[in-house]
Amino acid sequence: MRSGPPVGQPRPVPEARLLVSAYAGQRLFASKWVIAVIVLLGTRPRRHSEILQALGGQISSKVLTRTLTWMATEQLVTQPGRSRTDPYALTRRGRSLYDLVKIIAAWADADALQHGQEAAAET
């Protein structure tokens, strides 16, 4: 008699929980503009027009509004009241994502520096 899982059934992967959680987190970065908005709001609350100006015309007002609305539904930013002069700010969840973005950026800087040095040593 054969032991183990039934034929054709996948074995449980110990990393499955990590994979599921990582993909769930990746969803938050699905929009091209989420990281940029997180970084800008990580330093201080900003009005819609300030975010638009900081992004230097690379995004339309309509796309920024959609991005901010989606981020508010994901509880990453606070959505201002009826006045367009009220600033957007990071929520506690958004702040924790900002901390993660800083860690990823630090890793990317260190990785680029390391690979830059390795490339120079190889030539």
Return the higher-pLDDT residue of 81 and 67.
Answer: 67
75-110: per-residue pLDDT in tens? 999 988 777 678 999 999 999 999 999 999 999 999
- Cα–Cα distance for residue pair 27/48, rounded to 1 Å: 23
Burial class (CB in 10 A: 0-12, 13-18, 19+), 68: buried
Domain 22-122, CATH among 3.90.1170.40, 1.10.260.40, 2.70.98.10, 1.10.10.10 = 1.10.10.10
28-55: per-residue pLDDT in tens? 888 889 999 999 999 999 999 999 999 9
